[in-house]
Amino acid sequence: MKKNLQGKVLKLFITKNDTNKTRISTSHIDADKHGILNDKFYNKNDQRAILITSIQSYEMAMNNGINLFEGALGENILIDINPYHLTTGETLSIGSAILQITQNCTLCKGLTTINSKLPKLLKNDRGIFAKIINGNTTIKVGDSVNIHSD
């Protein structure tokens, strides 16, 4: 049975190309198949071009006594629905952008600097990587998110 989940973009982030890897919250991002323009990681690895995280990851952390500020998980796009059931090759749409899932987000050592329990807690719930497959596009806070899956 096919199901359709709908949600919206809550926040957007880029990482500046400075020595501190400063994270910036922004109202929109411009992206293409290589990632997010003006982001430190643009055109570095097409399989890890854009990280999408659900607000549910932050809720899981909070429910386990770990308070995180949004953006702390390294996401570019924070959404209000859970896309973690999607697998490599599946797609979702955000506004006019069509994104293809490239891989699950692997856990990084940086999460242990926030809290030693965080990597294990979010093992399968930190985020998913995707790439834009329909050319240059702009994604804005408030854009609709549509997930179609079986």
82-104 confidence digits (pLDDT tens) = 999 999 999 999 999 999 999 98
Better pLDDT: 27 or 1: 27
Residue 1: per-residue pLDDT: 46
Domain boundaries, the chain: 3-149
Q: How far apart are CA 5 and CA 42, in angstroms?
A: 29
Are 47 and 72 in contact by the 8 Å Cβ rule? The answer is no
Classified as helix, coil or strand, 47 is: helix
Sign of the C-alpha dihedral, residues 111, 58, 25, 28? positive
DSSP 50: E
Strands, E, within 16-150: which ranges? Answer: 23-26, 28-32, 35-36, 50-54, 77-79, 91-94, 97-104, 128-132, 137-140, 144-149
Q: What H or E segment, with its residue span, contains residue 12?
A: strand 3-15
Q: Which CATH number fits domain 3-149: 3.30.930.10, 2.40.33.20, 3.30.1300.10, 3.40.50.2300?
A: 2.40.33.20
Q: Label residue 105 by pLDDT band (50, 70, 90).
A: confident
Percent of the chain clearing pLDDT 90 (strictly above): 68
